[in-house]
Homo-oligomer: A and B are copies of this chain.
């Protein structure tokens, strides 16, 4: 199936460094709009060779998110639906070992930068190591309720969710807090492992083809993502991974109770036997957010959740 033609392109020089409660849009679209969004790599073009390491770049300039885009009719209490149709990485990416970051930091010398070539769906690390791309976006979010959060962080507004499942085919539901929602997207990875243990994936610029829609008067507490065969909830904390898991499980149980009509007891048991707790971001130690997820498999015999979402 050919990709739909975008009615709008947002260039990568229109971006924000943070999400806040009162954002000013660079464009306004109708629900159903297809948009091509150019994104900057997370280092904002600072890392062009392996000689450029984390200690000599400005690490406050990370995760520029292209936008914000206002969607007509998205009001507080609604959800913004962002369908990721295509994610097209560029041809050169970078990953890093950053002093003090990550599970293996005590076993290496830091800093280190590695440049990756990306071509025809393959990431080339060096002459003998290459692997398929798994393109995804790390940052996807909307205006916050009250805080101002740099794009380095994640929260109920989305932001730096760093979920490897945010690739082509995923639809991300974000709780609208400001009229228009104010969507912004960035931090593409040609590939990122679950957990992103050094704090970096194959960081790369590119473009993303999306379709936006509004789900009226329905909202989840945390961002929720729909895939072909399952839903994924998120839970975010500033460092406690077990608490992030608890939050993601709580959101998953809420879906089962509110949308599928489960009792809380049956939701708990169902998630234990059929839901998958997973890790989006757990680089540790690291000053960033810790992000867990929990899957809710779609079940043919149950009513369709978010009826308007399904029928769009």
Contact = CB atoms under 8 A, between A and B. Distances in A.
Interface of A: 95-97, 102-105, 107-109, 112, 114, 116, 123, 125-131, 164, 189, 191-202, 241-242, 245-246, 249-250, 253, 262, 264-279, 282-284, 294-295, 297, 299, 301-302
A193 B112 contact: no
- 9 A-B pairs with least C-beta separation: A195-B277, A198-B272, A194-B276, A103-B249, A104-B268, A193-B275, A128-B301, A103-B246, A197-B272
Contacts of A126: 266
Contacts of A201: 272-273
Contact of A130 (B103, B246, B299): B299
Given A95-B272, A125-B270, A129-B270, A242 B104 contact: no
* Chain A, interface SS category: mixed
A140 to B, nearest CB: 19
A114 B246 contact: no
Contacts of A164: 276
Contacts of A245: 103, 195, 197, 241, 279, 282, 284
Given A97-B268, A191-B273, 18 more contacts: A104-B271, A107-B250, A107-B268, A108-B265, A112-B269, A127-B301, A130-B301, A131-B299, A193-B273, A193-B274, A194-B277, A195-B272, A195-B277, A197-B249, A200-B273, A242-B284, A245-B282, A245-B284
A284 B240 CA distance: 13
A197 B277 contact: yes
A277 B228 CA distance: 22
Nearest to A109: B265
Given A264-B104, A265-B109, A299-B129, A282 B273 contact: no
A84 to B, nearest CB: 20
16 contacts: A102-B268, A102-B272, A104-B246, A104-B267, A104-B268, A108-B268, A130-B301, A131-B297, A189-B273, A191-B274, A193-B295, A194-B277, A195-B245, A195-B272, A197-B272, A199-B272
Given A193-B276, A196-B272, A246 B284 contact: yes
Contacts of A130: 299, 301
A286 to B, nearest CB: 11
Nearest to A260: B129
A273 B284 CA distance: 15
A192 B308 CA distance: 31
A48 B263 CA distance: 22
A191 B242 CA distance: 23
